Amino acid sequence: MPAELEKGRGRTRPFRWRRRARKLNRKRGKRPMSMSVQTDWKVIAFRLQEEEYALPVQYVRSIEKIQPITRVPGTAPYVKGVINLRGVVTPIIDLRERFGFAPEPYGEQTRMIIAVFGDIEVGLIVDAANDVLDIPAASIEPPEAIGAIGAAYICGVAKVEKRLLILLDLASVLSE
């Protein structure tokens, strides 16, 4: 068996991030993203299908245009492969497929949000990255099954002006 394969899993080492995400998720006791309820949130807003989602900026390293991805055999269908981003091999997840949406071809607006959670760096493919927003803590409501994804991936829902933003729990997205 090649040294780069994990024993019995058939997955390459860059995908050990799943185990690490599960471990970090257990440590924090499934609390929403370690952000205090009393503080305002600064988030990156992005679009998947017709819904708007958001990630706290503290987890976002950069937003990149889509680039060639090297497929890695034996990974889940939503793991598109890896890229070499400034000398770092970064796994790439298509959030459309992760949440069970129909795949679509990548276009001019398609972006990769390079996110860091603990010591895990991962690229998240989204339809478009829209804005950086400040969300008052008072406008954040507890998660429920919203839209097409279940409450397991959500740490809250925010109403900002006339927009409804679904706040993703990055640890849950990475843990399965």
pTM of the prediction?
0.75
**Which range has the worst mean pLDDT, 9-23, 98-112, 135-149, 151-165?**
9-23
- CA-based R_g, the chain, Å: 16
Structural domains in the chain plus CATH codes: 13-175 (2.40.50.180)
- Please tell me the predicted confidence (pLDDT) of residue 144: 66
Which has more confidence, 31 or 75? Answer: 75
More confident call, 169 vs 20: 169
Q: For the residues 74-86, what does the mean pLDDT come to? A: 94
Place of tokens 């008072």: 138
| Nearest partner of 56 among 64, 66, 46, 47, judged by Cα | 46
Give the pLDDT confidence score for residue 18 in this predicted structure.
53
Query: Sorting pLDDT into bands at 50, 70 and 90, what band is 113?
Result: very high
- Please measure the distance between the N-terminal and C-terminal CA atoms of the chain and give it in whole angstroms: 25
Identity (one letter) of the amino acid at 150?
A: G
Q: What is the pLDDT of residues 130-143, one digit of tens each?
A: 899 999 888 888 87
What distance lies between CA 23 and its chain's CA centroid? 17
Long-range contacts of 100-104 (CB under 8 A, 24+ apart): 100/148, 100/149, 101/48, 101/49, 101/148
One-letter identity of residue 68: P
Digit-coded pLDDT (tens) for 38-51: 578 899 999 999 89
* pLDDT, tens only, 1-51: 333 334 444 444 444 555 555 565 555 544 444 444 457 889 999 999 989
Residue 158 to residue 120: CA distance in whole angstroms = 26
